[in-house]
Amino acid sequence: MSTVEETAAKASKAIEDLLRALGRSPGRNPELLDTPVRTARMWLDDLIDGYALEPADILAGGSPAEGHVGMVVVRDIFFHSVCPHHLLPYHGVAHVAYVPGERIVGFSQINRLVDCLSHRLVLQEEICRGVAAALVEQLGAAGAGCVLDAEQLCMIVRGVRKPGSRSITSAYSGSLADGADLRREFLATIGAEE
């Protein structure tokens, strides 16, 4: 059995134990019979698969910037993640910008970077910081920024129970952290204000 299979088997067993602890034994309810296996696969393949990826690998390669001096913005990137406090998902859109250094990367690599850093047990604020930092540190961008607009399930189904509330976070690095004009340009491009 491979390490991935072992991990999936352990996760499945833990989910089965949780269901039993909640008084919902999979053996007594046909609808729950395959739930431990399905849920374990969902967690490993869809919710926390970002741990298997590295920002440096995603941002490797690319093309020479060759005189490209404008800001690159990819907006409205759907993302989902899991809050580490209650293990509840959240989802929304990411807006990412960078000012090229020596290299540029394809737009799909920006999408993959967001997935890499969001498909983990992570706070929304950390995703923002991670995206902006990776673009500067791994790609060599002169500056970078990330704005996330998300709906947190933990604020809807528990606690304050406020459907429709949104959490907006941002992080900037390099010239976008230092330059108010660049930040304003980015925010205007995504339809936000500073």
What are 51-105's pLDDT values in tens digits?
Answer: 999 999 999 989 999 877 789 999 999 999 999 999 999 999 999 999 999 999 9
- Whether residue 170 lies inside any domain: the answer is yes
Token pair of 157 as six digits = 């189904």
Classify the phi-psi angles of 191: left when phi > 0, otherwise alpha if psi is within -120 to 50, otherwise beta. Answer: left
Q: Do residues 185 and 91 share a domain?
A: yes
Residues 96 and 185 in one domain: yes
pLDDT at 9 over 90: yes
pLDDT at 69: 74
32, part of any domain: yes
- 160 and 103 fall within a common domain: yes
pLDDT, position 111: 98
Return the CATH number at 78: 3.30.1130.10
Determine the Cα–Cα distance for residues 77 and 91; give it in Å rounded to an integer.
Answer: 11
Instruction: Indicate whether 149 and 92 sit together in one domain.
Output: yes
pLDDT higher than 80, residue 193 = no
Q: Judge if 71 and 158 occupy the same domain.
A: yes
Please name which of 25, 59, 22 lies closest in space to residue 137, comparing C-alpha atoms: 59
Planar angle of CA 52, 127, 186, nearest 5 degrees: 130
Residues 173 and 113 in one domain: yes
Mean predicted lDDT score pLDDT of the chain:
95
Domain of 79, in residue numbers: 59-189
For residue 158, name the pLDDT band (cuts at 50, 70, 90): confident
Q: Are residues 162 and 67 part of one domain?
A: yes
49-88: b or e for each residue (b if 16 or more CB lie within 10 Å)? ebeebebeebbeeeeebeeeeebbbbeebebebbbeeeee
Looking at the structure, tell me whether residues 100 and 140 fall in a common domain: yes
Q: Are residues 68 and 28 in the same domain?
A: no
Task: Specify the long-range contacts of residues 58-61, CB closer than 8 Å, at least 24 apart.
Answer: 58/109, 58/112, 58/113, 58/116, 59/105, 59/109, 59/113, 59/134, 59/135, 59/138, 59/139, 60/138, 61/105
Could you give the number of structural domains in the chain? 2
Same domain (yes/no): 32, 68: no
